[in-house]
Amino acid sequence: MKHSAAVAASLAAVAVAGAVAGLLLQPESAASPVEWAYVVPYLVFPALGWLIAVRRPDNAYGWLLLATADCLALGAAGTGLLLRADGDAGVPLPLAAVMTSMYTIYYGLTWVFVPLLFPDGRLPSARWRPAVWIAAGAIGLHWLGVVRVPQLTLGRTPTSDPFALFAAGVGQAVVSVVALVVLGSVIARWRRSRASERRQLGWLIAGMVVNLAGAVLLVLTASAGPVVAMLIGAMSVVGALPATIAVAVLRYNLLDIRVGLRGSRLYLVFDVRPTVDELLSDLGPTLKEMEPVEQLGRLAAAVRSGLDTRWAAVALSDGTRVVAGREEGPPLLTVPAGLGHIACGPKIAGRFNAEDRRLLTALAVPVALAVQSAGLATRLVNAQEAERRRIERNIHDGVQQQLVALIAGLELARATGGEARTMTLLREQARQTLSDLRELAAGIHPAVLSQGGIVEAVEERCSRLPVATTVTADPGLREKRFSDEVEGAVYFTVSEAVANALKHASATVIQVRLSHTEGRVLASVADNGKGFEPETVSRTGLAMLADRLSALGGGLDITSAPGEGTRLHAWVAVHG
């Protein structure tokens, strides 16, 4: 972005400097105040080209306007050199000839390419390619004639170089014909366009007509015409088209650039919509410091600001909806964003165009990430709450009741003198409570997992199952240790799978296999239960485990069908 701005500023500076230099280089007798007045309309081209190139560097139209302005500037500077050469033998004529010949490229760009590529720098259709090549060849032919005889730009027609006269004449004639064809095509676009686009094209057509009329007027008055007619012709050629293009761009918010009044003070400001890169650059650091739901709100506000809409909303698949602005009426533009979508209300000014859809599609990427983060955060919170309630329920229903009974027994033993039989019963009750506490702790993070590793912990878990269960592991896996997160994820996945096989599948045989290969720890659990249709059954517990595995670079697959049992395959990425 900064590089593009520097290049655009340099090209605009060259254009301005060339125009001024062209007048300063002329003899005092040639540089009249009227000619200095040409600089004012001439500056519109470089100014408008700079604005579009800086704000929309990916739009070729701004660079085209800058190139057109530079060609005119070089031609003006070359003309100044030619006029000075009449009385100064030290002026480098070859340089003056090359610079003056840039006028021919200026005319070709102004008459053909500037209107044809309006407003996005692209051809209306592929059918225009032959015409473009013809115009480019004609411009080259015109340039060749003028660079051989640069005095042609001063209205002089020497006969010393017939080829130059032929090349310049034919080249200019062909460019003029193509220019009339382009004018006809723009008029055709104007007739079949909508009202808003018609007004924009109307200004462009007006500029083209005045420009071509000014060129004709200059040709007719080149020899000895009235000074006023020559002035009108020159001003029309230099300023008509850039002025009308500026009106179309700024008045009708074309290319998302407009000039307007703000506040109570009367001053002009450029109200320019931020680019995609600017929005993403501004959003990046801000989003990192926000919670997922806050991210959605910030992104909805960015969409609304970037597209200049009355409201914008980010919606999740679970019905969660975050809106920026006052939502009224149905959305006019919607794009998917991961597990959700972005919806936009009407624009404050104008209608949605291709640039709006491109920006919204680009914003859908960070929105999709925020939607995914919000969904994952919600599921993790639900998982934590469910686990907290499970532990609370287990404590309340099991250990808490046993401790209450133990305390009551101790009170009774103290009151009765503590008979041997009573103390024996209390001792057994205390041992059972301790065993239950250990079982409860094992449900959180079993000690055998911390001490013995995955294989030993899974074997210990499966040894207490009331059905035939086999555990097999790759040779050497028993001695390997991994991070607590990896071992915990694998262990609890196997625990959840065998629990489901017992509670829901009515399985009588369970097979567990553990392996380590290609940077992954894998666990598979197969049963001979009744099976199910995976698409029709809620798997909340497994979904939570899948999130846990995904956070570790792993995943979870389930294969099942009614009457065919169930097979779960899980894996976690490991290093080393």
Nearest residue to 293 via CA among 217, 221, 377, 353: 377
> What is the token pair recorded at 63?
């660079």
What type of residue is 503? K
Strands of 338-414 (E only): list them: 340-344
How many C-beta atoms lie closer than 10 Å to residue 202's C-beta?
17
SS3 state at 332: coil
Half-sphere CA count of 128, side-chain side, radius 13 A: 18
**Going residue by residue through the chain (576 aa), what tens digit of pLDDT does each one get?**
567 888 999 999 998 888 888 777 776 545 555 566 667 777 888 888 898 888 778 788 889 999 999 998 888 888 878 777 665 555 677 888 888 889 899 989 988 999 999 887 888 888 899 999 999 999 999 999 888 887 777 666 666 778 888 888 899 899 989 999 999 999 998 888 777 678 888 888 998 888 888 878 877 776 666 767 777 777 787 888 888 888 888 777 666 565 544 443 433 544 455 555 566 565 555 555 555 566 777 778 878 877 778 898 888 776 778 888 888 888 888 888 776 788 888 887 667 777 777 777 777 776 666 666 655 655 665 666 566 666 665 565 455 555 655 676 677 677 777 677 667 766 776 776 666 666 666 555 666 777 888 999 899 878 867 778 899 999 889 988 988 878 888 887 888 888 788 778 888 899 999 999 888 999 999 999 998 887 766 555 567 677 778 877 888 889 998 889 999 999 998 875
Backbone angles phi, psi at 329, to 5 degrees: 80, 170
- Report how far residue 109's alpha carbon sits from residue 112's, in angstroms, rounded to the nearest whole number: 5
Helices and strands, counts by H and E, the chain:
22, 11
Side by side, which strands form the sheet with 311-316? 321-325, 311-316, 340-344, 333-337
- Report how far residue 574's alpha carbon sits from residue 7's, in angstroms, rounded to the nearest whole number: 49
H-only helix segments in 27-161:
33-37, 39-42, 44-55, 60-85, 93-100, 102-108, 114-116, 129-148
Four-CA torsion 43, 49, 52, 56, nearest 10 degrees = -150
- Secondary-structure percent of the chain, ordered helix, strand, coil, rounded to 5: 65, 10, 20
Residue 429 is predicted with a pLDDT of 67
SS3 state at 260: strand
> What is the token pair recorded at 34?
């009227």
Does pTM top 0.85 for this prediction? no
The pairs formed by 401-404 with CB atoms below 8 angstroms and a separation of 24 or more are 402/429, 402/432, 402/433, 402/436, 403/433
CB 350 within 8 A of CB 273: no
> What is the token pair recorded at 75?
């031609």
Backbone angles phi, psi at 337, to 5 degrees: -145, 85
The residue whose two tokens read 């040709």 is: 219
The residue whose two tokens read 């579009």 is: 52
CB 486 within 8 A of CB 574: yes
The pairs formed by 219-225 with CB atoms below 8 angstroms and a separation of 24 or more are 222/155, 223/155
Burial 381-393 (b: 16+ CB within 10 A, else e): eebeeeeeeeeee
- Report how far residue 539's alpha carbon sits from residue 552's, in angstroms, rounded to the nearest whole number: 20
Helix 195-220 to helix 162-192 angle (10° resolution) is 160
SS3 state at 504: coil
SS3 state at 269: strand
- Give kind and range of the element (H or E) at residue 229: helix 227-235
Q: Is 98 exposed, middle or buried (0-12, 13-18, 19+ CB in 10 A)?
A: middle
